A and B are shown apart, each in its own frame.
Chain A
Amino acid sequence: MTGAAPLAELDDLRVQFGAGPDAVQAVRGVSLHVMPGEVLCLLGESGSGKSVSMRALLRLLPPQARVTGGVQVEGQEVGRLSGRALRALRGGTAAMVFQEPMTALDPVYTVGQQIAESVQQHRGGTRAAARARALEVLDLVRVPDAARRLDAYPHELSGGLRQRVVIAMALACRPRLLLADEPTTALDATVQIQILVLLRGLQRELGMGMVLVTHDLGVAAEVSDRVAVMYAGQIVEQGPVRDVLRRPVHPYTRGLLASVVRADGVEAPGIPGSPPDLRRPPPGCAFAARCPAAVGACSAAVPAEQKVGPGRTARCVRVGESVAA
C-alpha cells in the first residue's frame, strides 16, 4: 500500500455551521485517506461528523457551512474546482449512495430515465445509448427482470430494489470512488445484508475505493478494510478493521463495542452520559467527561493522534498503557 497515491484524502478538515458563538463545529480536524480498491468505514453515532466529512469529499455541504482544510480526490483539490470540473467529479470520478431510497429517487421519473440522465450528463451520447447503459447497470446490481423495471416508477419498487437502483445510479458512470451514506439503515434487516454483500462484491469487481458511513458495527465488520471511529467531530481511532474491533485502544471504541446487543440476553452496558455540545466543545479530549479511564491530563488539551501499531492511530493520552494492558 505504501508508495501508491491515495484515491481521496482529507487533511485537517474542519467544518463549521453558522457563525459567532453559536456556530456548531461539526468536524474538528479530520485527516484520513482512502486507497484505490479499499473500503474505509466511518463509524460513529449520529452527530459525530461522519456524514459531513464524507459530503465534503464531493463539496456537497450547504452554502452556510464553512470548510477549511484540504480535500483531495485523485490529486485534485476539491475546494478549488471550477463548476464544470466539479460536475465531472460528482458522479464521474466519485459517486454517492444515499441512505433513504424512498427520497433519493425522483418520484416523477422512471428509474431508467433517472439513470440515463446521469449517463448523458457525463458521457453525452444518444438517449438510446444511455438507456441501454441504464439497463446494463440495473443488471449489474442484480435487479431481477431489469428490462421491465427500467420503465417502473420508484413507488412501484420495494425498498431493497429501490436501493439497488440508487446504487445503479451511482455506478452508471464508473466512478473510482464510491461514497455510501448509511446505505442499509433504512432497509429491512433481511435486505440489509443482501445490499451489503452486493456493495462489497461490486466494489471488488470494479476495483473502486469506497467510503462507507455507518453507526452499525456489524456493517463495519462485514465490509470494511479499515475503520475510522469518529466522536464529536474528530477521529478517535483508526486502523485495520480486525485490529480495531478485536483490540480497541480508545475507551470510546471499547464502549461502542460493549454496547452491541448480545444474543445471550445480557443487557448491554452502554456508555453513560451524552456527547458534548459542539457549539462549545471541551478544550481537552471530547470523551473525557464520559470516559471511565479519564485522568487530569485528558481535559487539558486535545490528545494528539498517536501511532499505536501498523497503520493504526488513536487519540488518547493513555494510549501507551492500554496497548500494554
Chain B
Amino acid sequence: MNSQTLALPAAAPVRLPPRPGYWGMVGGRLRRDPVTVVFCLLMLAIVLAAVFAPLISPFDPYKESIIFRLKPFGYRGHPLGTDELGRDILARILYGGRSALLMGVGPVVFAGLVGGSLGVLAGYAGGWVGTLVMRTMDVFYAFPSVLLAVAISGAMGGGMLNGMIALALVFIPAVCRVAETATTQVRGLDFVEAARATGAGHLMIVRHHLLGNVLAPVLVYASSLVSVSILLASGLSFLGLGVRPPVPDWGLMLSTLRQAIYVQPWVCAVPGAAIFVTSMCFNLVSDGLRSAMDVRLR
C-alpha cells in the first residue's frame, strides 16, 4: 500500500465537483451590495455621458452668446443655465467629463503600475535596493502633493498630457509606499518561506504570493486616488496649468465661474457638484470592490 498510495493514478481520473470560481464569488457578492451597484451604474452613466457627449449634448459647448450670459437653470432651453460667455453649462459638463475622467484615471493607472512594481521590488529585495527606491520616493514625498504637481506641470509647460505626467509623478511615491509596506508585511509570513521550501523561485513567489496579497491594498488605494486625481487636475486647470481654455473642463469651469458666484450661485456650483459626484462614485465603488474581492471576509 505504501508506494502506491502517493502515485498518480494512470486511469480513472478523480471526479471533482465544479469549482465556484473566484470571479463568480466576487460577482455574487457585488450583486448583494446595493450601494456599490448603484454607484457603479452612476459611474457607468458618467463615463457613457462623457464618451457620447457629442450625441447627447443639446448645444455646442463652444458656442458663445453675448445676450444670454449667466442665465439660471432652465433658461430658454438651457437646463443648467449658461456661463459667463453664454455657453451652455450642460454641454460643457458633458464634454468636460472627458478630460476629467482622463485626468482622473490616466495618472492613477500609470502610477499604479510604476509605483506598485517599484514598491514590490523594494519590499521583496529589501537591503540597499529597498533603501535606494524608498529614499528616492521620500524625496518626492517631502513636497506637498499640490505644490509638486504645480511645479512639475509648470516646469513642463502646462497642457493636458504634461498635467497627467505631473499627477502620475505625484502619485507614484504614495502607491509605492503602500505596495512596499504590504510587501514587507507579507514577505515575512511563513507562507512565503513555505513556498520557498517547496521549491518556488523568486519570480513565482513575487508573482503568485506577493502580488496576490499586495494587489488588493494597492488596488483599493489607487482607486481612492482617482478622485484625488480629478480634484488635483481640476486644481491644475484652475491655475491655468492643465486643460487650456476654451476646452471644457470641470476645474476650469469652476475657476472661471467663481467670479459669478453672487450672480448665479447655483450655476456656479454645477461643475463642483460634477467633480464631487464623480469622486464619490470612484470612492464608494472602490470600497465595495475591496470588500467583494477579499476572500477572508464572508
| Nearest residue, chain B, Cβ from A83 | B201
Task: Decide: B2 and A205 in contact? CB cutoff 8 A.
Answer: yes
Task: Decide: A150 and B199 in contact? CB cutoff 8 A.
Answer: no
Task: Decide: A87 and B295 in contact? CB cutoff 8 A.
Answer: no
Which chain B residues lie closer than 8 Å to A151 at the CB level?
17, 19-20
Task: Decide: A103 and B2 in contact? CB cutoff 8 A.
Answer: no
Which chain B residues lie closer than 8 Å to A305 at the CB level?
none
Quick check: is A148 within 8 A (CB to CB) of the other chain? Answer: yes
Q: Which of B28-36, B101-109, B186-194 contacts A (4 or more CB under 8 A)?
A: B186-194
Quick check: is B244 within 8 A (CB to CB) of the other chain? Answer: no
Quick check: is B212 within 8 A (CB to CB) of the other chain? Answer: yes
Quick check: is B181 within 8 A (CB to CB) of the other chain? Answer: no
Task: Decide: A205 and B5 in contact? CB cutoff 8 A.
Answer: yes
Which chain B residues lie closer than 8 Å to A140 at the CB level?
5-6
Task: Decide: A121 and B200 in contact? CB cutoff 8 A.
Answer: yes
The distance in angstroms between the C-alpha atoms of A105 and B296, with both chains bound, is: 13
Which chain A residues lie closer than 8 Å to B196 at the CB level?
60, 90
Task: Decide: B2 and A207 in contact? CB cutoff 8 A.
Answer: yes
Which chain A residues lie closer than 8 Å to B1 at the CB level?
205
CB distance from A96 to the nearest CB of B (A): 4
| Nearest residue, chain B, Cβ from A135 | B14
Quick check: is A131 within 8 A (CB to CB) of the other chain? Answer: yes
For chain A, residues 134 to 156, give those with C-beta under 8 angstroms from any C-beta of chain B: 135-137, 140, 147-148, 150-151, 153, 155
| Nearest residue, chain A, Cβ from B189 | A103
Which chain A residues lie closer than 8 Å to B194 at the CB level?
96, 98, 104-105, 166, 169
Quick check: is A27 within 8 A (CB to CB) of the other chain? Answer: no
Which chain A residues lie closer than 8 Å to B201 at the CB level?
83, 87
Task: Decide: A121 and B204 in contact? CB cutoff 8 A.
Answer: yes
Quick check: is B139 within 8 A (CB to CB) of the other chain? Answer: no
- Known interface pairs A103-B191, A104-B191, A108-B295; A148-B17 also in contact (CB < 8 Å): yes
The distance in angstroms between the C-alpha atoms of A97 and B5, with both chains bound, is: 20
Measured as residues with beta carbon below 8 angstroms from the partner, the interface class of chain B is: 20 to 34
- Known interface pairs A121-B200, A205-B5; A98-B16 also in contact (CB < 8 Å): no
What does the 1/0 interface line of A161-174 toward B look like (CB < 8 Å)? 00000100111111
The distance in angstroms between the C-alpha atoms of A68 and B200, with both chains bound, is: 25
Task: Decide: A153 and B296 in contact? CB cutoff 8 A.
Answer: yes
Which chain A residues lie closer than 8 Å to B200 at the CB level?
87, 91, 117-118, 121
Quick check: is B135 within 8 A (CB to CB) of the other chain? Answer: no
The distance in angstroms between the C-alpha atoms of A98 and B194, with both chains bound, is: 7
Quick check: is A133 within 8 A (CB to CB) of the other chain? Answer: yes
What does the 1/0 interface line of A93-133 toward B look like (CB < 8 Å)? 00110111001111111000000011001100000110111
CB distance from A56 to the nearest CB of B (A): 13
For chain B, residues 201 to 259, give those with C-beta under 8 angstroms from any C-beta of chain A: 201, 204, 208-209, 212-213, 216
The distance in angstroms between the C-alpha atoms of A121 and B199, with both chains bound, is: 8
The distance in angstroms between the C-alpha atoms of A211 and B195, with both chains bound, is: 19
For chain B, residues 1 to 25, give those with C-beta under 8 angstroms from any C-beta of chain A: 1-3, 5-6, 8-9, 13-14, 16-17, 19-20
Which chain A residues lie closer than 8 Å to B208 at the CB level?
109, 117
Which of B8, B17, B193, B209 interacts with A147 by CB under 8 Å? B17
CB distance from A69 to the nearest CB of B (A): 21
The distance in angstroms between the C-alpha atoms of A283 and B92, with both chains bound, is: 84
Quick check: is A58 within 8 A (CB to CB) of the other chain? Answer: yes
Task: Decide: B5 and A206 in contact? CB cutoff 8 A.
Answer: yes
Task: Decide: A107 and B295 in contact? CB cutoff 8 A.
Answer: yes
Task: Decide: B193 and A98 in contact? CB cutoff 8 A.
Answer: yes
For chain B, residues 160 to 190, give those with C-beta under 8 angstroms from any C-beta of chain A: 189-190
CB distance from B202 to the nearest CB of A (A): 9
Quick check: is A26 within 8 A (CB to CB) of the other chain? Answer: no
Which chain A residues lie closer than 8 Å to B209 at the CB level?
106
Quick check: is A67 within 8 A (CB to CB) of the other chain? Answer: no
Quick check: is B66 within 8 A (CB to CB) of the other chain? Answer: no
Quick check: is B142 within 8 A (CB to CB) of the other chain? Answer: no
| Nearest residue, chain B, Cβ from A204 | B2
**A-B contact list, 6 entries, CB within 8 Å:** A88-B199, A90-B196, A106-B195, A106-B209, A150-B16, A174-B6
Residues of A within 8 A of B (CB): 58, 60, 83, 86-92, 95-96, 98-100, 103-109, 117-118, 121-122, 128-129, 131-133, 135-137, 140, 147-148, 150-151, 153, 155, 166, 169-174, 205-207
In addition to A87-B199, A100-B190, A147-B16, 8 A-B residue pairs with Cβ atoms within 8 Å of each other are A60-B197, A104-B191, A104-B194, A117-B208, A118-B199, A132-B16, A148-B17, A151-B20
